[in-house]
Amino acid sequence: MSGYKALSGNLFSRKFGGTTKGVADPFISGYFFGTFESLPTAVASSVPGISAVNLIQAGLTSVTLPTANLNKTTLDGLGGNKWHVPAGIDIGDTCSLKFVEMSGLPYFQLFHTWFNLIRDIRTGVSQLSSYSKEAYAANFIYAATTPNGSTIEFACYMTGMFPTKDPFDIYGGDITAIDKVDYEQEFSVDYVWVNDKWVKDKAATLIKSAETGKSALIGSTPTIGI
């Protein structure tokens, strides 16, 4: 952020590209990583031969995060004049993750299993023999980086997450629509921690695990299949 030290040189142009006094790089979106730290036992083994945690991390194409709002209360003055002061906060309690569905429908298998674990669509009751939130919810770590895929710009940790949809309707067909299928799953979120040091430490561990894949790509030869 050293480029912002010379803000006075950019007050007119608002340009930081090297032709004015202060130089700084904008935040570039689209470089991010995320996955669940762990999953319920039945969900973790829902796709045979594949780590469900790795499946989520490898196929994640979009993340919509919760937001925080500061509510206000309105007070009335003489003659209809109004003034405002802060009231309580309202933290968003939903997020969504998007994946490109693959042949064999691994994302359907994973999230259909998770949904039915909580409430079976045939019976309306849980499949868990010992029912507790600890058994059906999970925590998610998310990190946005600079374009080098390593330097963390933003990180958040969402807890108590569980799916709130079983979107099998996306597999319906239209003879005129020949395209990929995006699998988007919506989740309930209990709480979100943003950019705390311990959150960034967790994010750094996530990035380190992803970087092993980057190292494998450098100097590798093309292959077909998985």
User: What's the pLDDT band for 223 if we cut at 50, 70, 90?
Assistant: low
Structural domain contains residue 104: yes
Domain-embedded: residue 226: no
**Is 16 part of a structural domain of the chain?**
no
Q: What is the CATH number of the domain that holds 120?
A: 2.30.110
CB atoms within 10 A of CB 225: 3
Q: Across residues 210-226, what is the average pLDDT?
A: 69
Residues 11-46: tens digit of each pLDDT: 777 777 666 555 677 889 999 999 999 899 999 999
Q: Residues 176, 178, 179, 185: is their CA dihedral positive or negative?
A: positive
pLDDT tens sequence across 91-127: 999 999 999 999 999 999 999 999 999 999 999 999 9
What pLDDT, on the 0 to 100 scale, is given for residue 212?
77
Q: What integer pLDDT is reported at residue 220 of this predicted model?
A: 64
Give me the phi and psi of 217, to 5 degrees please: -75, -30
Give the model's pLDDT for residue 189. Answer: 97
Number of domains in the chain: 1
Whether 216 contacts 192, CB under 8 Å:
no
Domain that holds residue 93: 32-213
Q: Is residue 25 part of a domain?
A: no
Sign of CA dihedral 42, 127, 118, 193: negative
Tens of pLDDT along 157-216? Answer: 999 999 999 999 999 999 998 999 999 999 999 999 999 999 999 999 999 988 877 777
Spatial CA neighbour of 59 closest among 95, 101, 31? 101
Give domain status of residue 224, yes or no: no
Q: Name which of 154, 142, 186 is nearest 167 in CA terms.
A: 186
Please report the pLDDT score of residue 125 as a whole number. 97
